[in-house]
Amino acid sequence: MELAPPDRYAHPLSARYVSGDMERIFAPAFRFGTWRRLWLALAEAQRDLGLDIPDDAITQMRDHLDDIDLEAAARYERRFRHDVMAHIHLFGDVAPAARGILHLGATSAFVGDNTDLIQHREALTLVRGRTVGAIRALARFAREHRARPTLACTHFQPAPPTPVGKRATRRIQAV
């Protein structure tokens, strides 16, 4: 299987059944970029609470949220055998002023669990929007065809005529 670009989720079924927007949400670039945003938020919150977090650390972190070298991350991961530690070191390479405060006081669950929640929220927001769009399209179809008769069926047997629009409203109800 060919490697997917970092902004695409790699799975055998994703080429057929996943939208580009959904692929982006579950792609490595989104996941690890979210880790970096969480580390930045953590450092900013710690600074607000009085920890000595240098301004240049915050600036460097903010300037390098999305330039993630996945090959370098893989090398670090082979070395440390830990994905979060790999990305802490990788982020420290591009934000050296933040190296000593990255992930300070946090566990791996901080980035892992919060990123999962963010990805799921983004995915559900996408699904909700597309579901609403499908319902609107079906409602429009139902209005346009509310008087058009079609043969109904019950238990796969012919039944009296029913409006096409009514049949469409049943599809809406199923959604």
Neighbours of 8 (CB within 10 A): 19
Specify the CATH number for the domain of residue 124: 1.10.275.10
- Same domain (yes/no): 120, 44: yes
* One pLDDT digit (tens) per residue for the chain, 175 residues: 456 677 766 776 667 788 989 999 999 999 999 999 999 999 999 999 999 999 999 999 999 999 999 999 999 999 999 999 999 999 999 999 999 999 999 999 999 999 999 999 999 999 999 999 999 999 999 999 999 999 888 888 888 899 999 999 999 998 8
Does residue 142 lie within any of the structural domains?
no
In sequence order, the 6+-apart residues with CB closer than 8 A to the CB of 173 are none
Strands (E), the chain: 149-154, 157-163
- Same domain (yes/no): 126, 160: no
Whole-angstrom distance, CA of residue 27 vs CA of residue 5:
9
pLDDT digits (tens, 9 = 90+) for 69-116: 999 999 999 999 999 999 999 999 999 999 999 999 999 999 999 999
Whole-angstrom distance, CA of residue 67 vs CA of residue 76:
16
- Same domain (yes/no): 83, 47: yes
- Same domain (yes/no): 76, 104: yes
pLDDT at position 155, please? 83
Q: What is the pTM of this model?
A: 0.83
Q: Which domain holds residue 165?
A: 147-175
